[in-house]
Amino acid sequence: MPQNDDLSCVELVELVTDYLEGVLPPDERSRFEAHLADCDGCVNYVDQMRTTIEVTGRLRADDLSPEVQGDLVSAFRTWHQNSPG
pTM comes to 0.61
Instruction: Please check whether residue 21 lies inside any domain of the structure.
Output: yes
Confidence (pLDDT) at 53: 83
- For 15-65, how does the pLDDT look when each residue is reduced to its tens digit (9 = 90+)? 998 999 899 999 999 999 999 999 999 999 999 989 988 887 766 777 778
pLDDT at 3: 45
- In angstroms, how far apart are the furthest CA atoms of the chain? 54
Instruction: Find the DSSP H helices in 6-65.
Output: 9-21, 26-38, 40-56
7/28 Cα distance (integer angstroms): 9
Banded model confidence at residue 4, pLDDT cuts 50, 70, 90:
low
What distance in Å separates the CA atoms of residue 45 and residue 24, rounded to the nearest whole number? 18
Q: What's the structural domain count of the chain?
A: 1
Q: Is residue 1 part of a domain?
A: no
Range of the domain at 49: 9-60
- Answer yes or no: is pLDDT of 67 > 80: yes
